[in-house]
Amino acid sequence: MTRSVLFDTETTGLEPLAGDRVIEVACLELWRDLPTGESFHRFIDPERDIPPEATRVHGMTRADLRGKPRFADIADDLLAFLGQDPLVAHNAPFDFGFLDAEFARLRRPALDPARMIDTLALAKVRFPGAPNGLDALCRRYGIDLTERTTHNALLDCRLLADVYVELTGGRQRGLLLAEDGQEGLPGVTYAAVGPRTPRLVQPGQAALDRHAAFVARLKDPVWTA
């Protein structure tokens, strides 16, 4: 897997099938699980009211979104950015459900669930029984949360990108190696992994003596069998 897209939505509520709508969508392009800097971000007029309890979560009111594009106006650009690549989200079934409901209103096909990568599910496997919300994972991995005073789709994507790197092994961009014939992260120089020439490493006498003394203290060491 090379390209994937990490995304998040903010909504008017919790029930897409009961009429709740998407009001913000943000996406980050990942290449081998690391952000490339390419992103997609839109605020959306939901064409309905926003309940106060939802505003308390994300800070947006109906007045804030009047005059913003409707979902129908951004659907083509969103689908082009998503492409056919894997889609990463925290509690991904929630976000898939809202996007699918929006696409259904436009008579567009639903997203393929086989593309879903749910970081909440990954976190529950790694930390069973522990809090695994985005805030909890950021604190666990030492990721700065000072800007997260309310939910914001683009900021949440950036935080989740850092969490996702940790959940998938803590890879560092500067340490990546591109295998022969494989394409690397755009704009990054990779060291090619090719045939290696074996090199004999001969320890000095002092190292051999220390090793012999260490082995002598072991009970039935395999080195002397």
Counted residue by residue, the chain has a size of 225
Nearest to 159 by CA among 187, 136, 185, 130: 136
Q: How far is CA 96 from the centre of its chain?
A: 15
Integer angstrom CA distances of residue 119 from 37, 140, 168, 205? 20, 14, 10, 52
**Helix, strand, coil shares of the chain as percentages rounded to 5?**
40, 20, 40
φ and ψ of 192, to 5 deg = -70, 140
Nearest to 15 by CA among 53, 42, 43: 53
CA separation for the pair 12, 7 (Å, rounded): 17
One-letter amino acid identity for 65? L
Do residues 57 and 150 lie in contact, with contact meaning Cβ atoms separated by under 8 Å?
yes
CA separation for the pair 21, 10 (Å, rounded): 9
| 151: annotated active-site residue | yes
Look up residue 13 and give its two tokens. Answer: 């509520």
Q: Which of 58, 90, 151, 211 is catalytic?
A: 151
In sequence order, what are the beta bridge partners of 11? 22
Q: Which residues are tagged catalytic?
A: 151
